[in-house]
Structure 1
Amino acid sequence: MGIVKISEELHEEIRDASAVLGRSINGQAEFWIKIGMLAEFYPELTYSQLTRKLLASA
């Protein structure tokens, strides 16, 4: 496991989202990173398609 430095503002957004979505803070950050990577690799796909692709790779 590595350490990634992020702004306090982004950390607060991750903390808030993780509380609402029932993920750990690290789990929420990891999810957003994976979705962001997929969005860059497949810009033509919708969010729903990206999440399905992420689930298929799990």
Structure 2
Amino acid sequence: MGIVKIDDMLHEHVRRASTVMCRSINAQAEFWMKIGMLAEANPALSFTDIVRDQLAAMPAPTPADAVAA
């Protein structure tokens, strides 16, 4: 883990988006970085395609997952 220096205006955008998306500021920034990295690696995919592929790659939930939540 490290520290990433970002512009104050970008930090404000992350803060606002994190509130709307019910994520921490760090989780929102990490989400944007991951999606951006995947978009650069897969320029033919849309945002929706990337999210769909990421969801499909996750293991299916089990009844135990519902109890743990």
TM-score by length of 1: 0.91
Give the equivalent residue in structure 2 for 1:12: 12
Structure (1/2) with the larger helix percentage: 1
| Cα RMSD after superposing both structures | 1.4
Letter in 2 for 1:24: S
Identity over aligned residues, as a percent? 59
Aligned length: 58
TM-aligned CA deviation for residue 52 of structure 1: 1.8
Q: Which runs of 4+ in 1 moved over 3 A?
A: none
Please, which runs of 5 or more residues in structure 2 have no aligned partner?
60-69
Structure-2 separation of matches of 1:52 and 1:40? 16
User: Rg bigger for which structure?
Assistant: 2
Q: Report 1 or 2 for greater relative contact order, CA contacts < 8 Å, sequence distance ≥ 6.
A: 1
